[in-house]
Amino acid sequence: MVSTNSATPKQLWECINKILHRRPAPSLPTHASIKSLCNSFSSHFKDKISVIQSTFTGHTPHTVHADFPQLNFQLASFEPATTTEVRKIIMSSPSKSCDLDPIPTILLKACLDVLIKPITDIINASLCYGFFPDDF
């Protein structure tokens, strides 16, 4: 078995791990529900951004306590992405996925006609308003 897989390191390690009865470590943190997992990731990235922002000299971090539609600031020269541009980027990406992807790329591409408008809206809102939701 080992000699058969010696040319492909990934398959070789899978073979060795199988022989040694090793199980792969979970790729996601433990979670009670998908919603709690999403909220954990959201908190992680918001905290990460806050830490990075706090390292800038002369920068006073602030927290926006308003809902998304009530934000009153925008990028002055931002040109929103079109559904055509977003579709082209998604369709040109490789159809491979990993366990951390919220949706397999092949499924995203198959459902793109339905999802392209909300995905484009989310991208534009995020870039235009700098908004990252607390909860999903």
Query: Do the domain assignments include residue 98?
Result: yes
Query: Do the domain assignments include residue 92?
Result: yes
Full residue range of the structural domain in which residue 87 is found: 69-136
pLDDT band at 74 (very low <50, low <70, confident <90, very high): low
Q: What is the mean pLDDT of residues 104-125?
A: 91
Residue 97 or 70, more confident: 97
pLDDT for 66 equals 45
Q: What is the mean pLDDT of residues 11-35?
A: 81
pLDDT tens string 29-59: 777 788 888 888 888 888 888 887 777 766 5
Query: Do the domain assignments include residue 46?
Result: no
Dist. CA 57–CA 45, nearest whole Å: 21
pLDDT surpassing 80 at residue 119: yes
